[in-house]
Structure 1
Amino acid sequence: MPIYEYKCADCGKEFEELVFKRDECPPCPECKSEKTGKLISACKFKNGGASDSRDTGASAPSSSSSGSGCAGCSGGNCSTCG
């Protein structure tokens, strides 16, 4: 079962919830409002490459020829993209 991130439209609280159905939106744990929506979450993954001794925890830029940015964001706009 996946854990999704939600935000309450009434009080603004962001929270995580384990859900059983993809379209299920749980009530806010803070104000009990039913007006919650699923947030788009950033995912993080680690490739099997060798680590760099200068690694600070951020994903290193990819040397792919597609030009689509780094392995960390694939968009070319994060702080690790050169």
Structure 2
Amino acid sequence: MPIFEYKCSDCDNEFEELVFDRDECPPCPKCQSANTGKLMSAVRSKVGGFAPDTGGDSGSNAAAPSAPSGCSGCSGGDCSSCG
């Protein structure tokens, strides 16, 4: 069941509502007006594995968290002295 964001045209209240019918516009919980409309929401998702928060840049080449490695010159990242 999706949660949608709405805005009341009468009192400018923004609210979220769990709805069963995606075309339904629920009344405003603040003023009870039926004059509400759906807002566009930003979507953020993560697919598989670890991905550090890079401020939304999904194309980042950020290193994975440090892991033990045979290289004593770095913290497990990708460096030229690891061989």
TM-score scaled to structure 1, two decimals? 0.62
Partner deviation per Cα, 1:2-57 (whole Å, 9 max, x = no partner)? 000000000000000000101100000000000000001000012446545xx5x5
Counterpart of 1:6 in structure 2 is 6
The counterpart of 2:55, out of the listed 49, 58, 73, is: 58
Alignment partner, residue 22 of structure 1? 22
Paired position in structure 1 for 2:32: 32
- Larger radius of gyration between Structure 1 and Structure 2: 2
Change (3 A) 1:50 1:18: closer
Aligned length: 60
- Structure 2: 5+ residue stretches without partners: 61-83
Aligned residues: percent identity? 62
1:59 Cα deviation from its structure 2 partner: 2.0
Say which SS state the counterpart of residue 17 (structure 1) adopts.
Answer: strand
